[in-house]
Amino acid sequence: MVSQATLLQILDFARWAPSGDNTQPWRFQVTGPASVAIHGFDTREHCVYDLDGHPSQIAMGAMLETAAIAASHHGLQMQARRREGSPDARPVFDLQFTPDAALAPDPLLHSIKTRSVQRRPLKTQPLTAPQKQSLAAAVGPGYTVTWQESTGQRLRMAKMLFHSAKIRLVTPEAYRVHKDIIQWQSQFSDDRVPDQALGTDPMTTRLMRFVMQSWSRVEMFNRFFAGTWAPRIQLDFVPGVACAAHFLLLAERPARTLDDYVAAGRAMQRFWLTATHLGLQLQPEVTPLVFTRYARNGIDFSRTPGAHDMARRLEQRFVDLVGEHAVAHAVFMGRVGHGNVPRSRSLRRPLDSLMIQEA
């Protein structure tokens, strides 16, 4: 029999899984002596970055993998099954924990709470062959990792990210997301992203706080004061060059269903935790994937004139850089390298606030 205290210890680790803008799209419910229900949700209705809920589904997969890693340290094998009939926008996963005397504790447990996002420049010191081998092995069967690591590749990737960033800075749909998720004048945040973790210098951060008080103010600065340039340079171009490599996590077949994206999230989390275990820092680079999918699916995602055309040009740059196969099969991407541990970061909601009590 598994004690409730053990289940809560596992969930206390599971809540540290990464999620877009620290949304933490899950709630936990203990449903039996060795079972837990995970009530997921996505933010597709109000977040332009959560196209079809897929980024939230990747986060759900990361959370499930984290729970499985934590369970291994209690000698428990975790089985996760999506509850039949639960909708894609609010999936429910039933977890069952079974004692397994042969199960070895997963060493990635010790990286769960220290894993974080580093948005500031990293060292350009190349990854070693053993490091790349460990990262490639971490994702498991069904996935491969490709690298953009030469100086020229990193420069071209930085330029692509620079163009991608313009889309998010000139569309009101993205502005609403940024306005909601940034916690100003903060080093840490339980449920958002603290401004000190954004990667901008203090002067640019103060200017951003002033400008982002209203969309009309953003439009004015973008039109008359080249308002997108400073954040694009600091948040996208410079970090895009200053890293060891950019990586793409590719699925064997293009992800299409909720289960595909949940599985990709589990692979992604093992990659990220392995990077942390190796002493590396990582930053996701998700927006090019999202805007490219908008362009490919012909979805008009913004009322800003020309936004869809910018997304189509971004798609072409992306294909020219990494190839058609990589763009079609990519489920996650980011940059990685040696660097300082972030001094500011997103934390997580207390476990008590994520629990659903039985009726």
86 and 204 together in one domain: no
Distance CA 219, CA 121 (A): 28
182 and 66 together in one domain: no
Distance CA 35, CA 325 (A): 40
Q: Name the one residue in this structure whose structure tokens are 């020229």.
A: 152
- Residue 40, judged by CB atoms within 10 A of its CB (0-12, 13-18, 19+), counts as buried
67 and 196 together in one domain: no
8 and 63 together in one domain: yes
pLDDT of residue 54: 98
In a domain, 117, yes or no: no
Task: Output DSSP code: residue 107.
Answer: G
In a domain, 358, yes or no: no
269 and 309 together in one domain: yes
For residue 351, how far is the Cα from the chain centroid?
Answer: 21
pLDDT mean values, one per 10 residues, the chain (359 residues): 95 98 98 97 97 98 98 98 97 98 97 98 98 98 98 98 96 97 98 97 94 96 87 96 98 98 98 98 97 97 96 98 98 98 98 87
87 and 152 together in one domain: no
101 and 135 together in one domain: no
Q: Name the one residue in this structure whose structure tokens are 């936004």.
A: 307
In a domain, 350, yes or no: no
User: Among 333, 330, 297, 249, which Cα is nearest to 52's?
Assistant: 297
332 and 294 together in one domain: yes
Q: How many CB atoms lie within 10 A of CB 308?
A: 18
- Residue 278, judged by CB atoms within 10 A of its CB (0-12, 13-18, 19+), counts as middle
Q: Would you say 1 and 33 are in contact if contact means Cβ atoms under 8 Å apart?
A: yes
pLDDT of residue 223: 87
Q: How many CB atoms lie within 10 A of CB 70?
A: 24
In this structure, what CATH number is given to the domain that contains residue 340?
3.40.109
Q: Would you say 32 and 49 are in contact if contact means Cβ atoms under 8 Å apart?
A: no
User: Among 160, 137, 140, which Cα is nearest to 318's?
Assistant: 160
Distance CA 89, CA 80 (A): 18
User: Among 208, 267, 196, 257, which Cα is nearest to 232's?
Assistant: 208
Length of the chain: 359
Model's pTM, two decimal places? 0.97
254 and 163 together in one domain: yes
Distance CA 352, CA 91 (A): 21
> Which residues are bridge partners to 248 per DSSP?
146, 333
Distance CA 57, CA 265 (A): 7
In a domain, 32, yes or no: yes
In a domain, 139, yes or no: yes
Q: Which two tokens stand for residue 358?
A: 């039985």
For residue 280, how far is the Cα from the chain centroid?
Answer: 16
The whole domain housing 198 covers 129-345
Distance CA 150, CA 244 (A): 9
pLDDT of residue 35: 97
In this structure, what CATH number is given to the domain that contains residue 73?
3.40.109.10
